[in-house]
Amino acid sequence: MLLASALLAALAVLLAVPVPIVLARAEWPRRAPATALLLWQAIALSGGLSMVGSLATFGLAPFGDDLIHAAARFLEVVSTEQTVPTADVWPTLAVGAAALLVAHLVLNLAVTVVVSTRERRRHRDLVALLSAPDPERPGTRLLDDPAPLAYCLPGVGALPMTVLSQGLLELLGDEELRAVVAHERAHLAQRHAWMTTAFRAWRLSLPWFPIASRARSSVATLVEYLADDTARAAVGAEPLARAIALVGGHDTTGPMETRDADRSAILDRVRRVGLAPLPLAPRILIGVVAAALVVVPTVLLLVPALLDL
């Protein structure tokens, strides 16, 4: 199992540093956001599995020739209060580190989901107090605010909600407004909030890894691209581009650096509205790579035991 441990460690390092950096700088995700999201999820899953698997296989190597039998032997030693040989102390610590890493990742995910759910519930309650139902758009609330605002709130024990401001209605024409509404409802229909929450938890769990910080930023951008694509299919490219430019260009608050970054992001979204989608063949190839990233560590961990059955 030491060979499997070394291979998993090498894969974990690749997926923790160079791979997310290269993917975050790539241009093709702008033309295939769904495929890029699939790849980011595969990288995160494979990276976590490789990190945990590398520690576990290294730690369990003295107890057996495959993960399942070695884990059973390790549990037997621990449960019967047998003394672990001195030579096995470091491997035993590696098993403990693997267990702690799993607990750390799961706990951070659970805490992030709970905190996000509470924040959204409080936000819904506040919006319900400060807004009124939109008679022309079911599931939509209108805020009496001069700033052009549009966002969505996923259902948390209630129906999902789209929030628009009076300033947005005054700023946009009918086609542009339809584009904005289609964009926000795409976020709800495609469950983007759950995906961004998962990568937020990943970022909080491993703040020192490029895979976590770059993944969260890239995923946030990609879900905007996906919602834009849905809106473009519903109302056309030109109304969507105008809506993005009008709403994005209206914000003049905040520090200069933040405004410059926001304008750069808005300009990027406007420019990509007219881009042709990535051809099918490259998207299929990237999908195969994403599947392989998940299959490889799984095979390294489980196949030796399955071959003995």
SS (H, E, C) 138-161: CCEEEECCCCCCEEEECCCCCCCE
Alpha carbon distance 118, 274 (integer Å): 38
Q: How far is the CA of 166 from the CAs of 202, 248, 284, in angstroms?
A: 36, 16, 44
Cβ count within 10 A of residue 78: 12
First CA to last CA distance, the chain: 17
Alpha carbon distance 148, 146 (integer Å): 6
In sequence order, the 6+-apart residues with CB closer than 8 A to the CB of 75 are none
Looking at residue 87, its pLDDT comes to 54
Average pLDDT, whole number, for the chain?
Answer: 87
Q: Which residues of the chain have pLDDT under 70?
A: 81-88, 156-158, 210, 250-261, 304-309
In sequence order, the 6+-apart residues with CB closer than 8 A to the CB of 304 are 1, 4, 65, 66, 67
Looking at residue 75, its pLDDT comes to 79
Alpha carbon distance 166, 123 (integer Å): 18
Looking at residue 206, its pLDDT comes to 84
In sequence order, the 6+-apart residues with CB closer than 8 A to the CB of 61 are 1, 2, 5, 70, 91
In sequence order, the 6+-apart residues with CB closer than 8 A to the CB of 264 are none
Looking at residue 85, its pLDDT comes to 57
Residue 140 contacts residue 178 (beta carbons within 8 Å): no
Alpha carbon distance 263, 269 (integer Å): 10
Alpha carbon distance 181, 42 (integer Å): 31
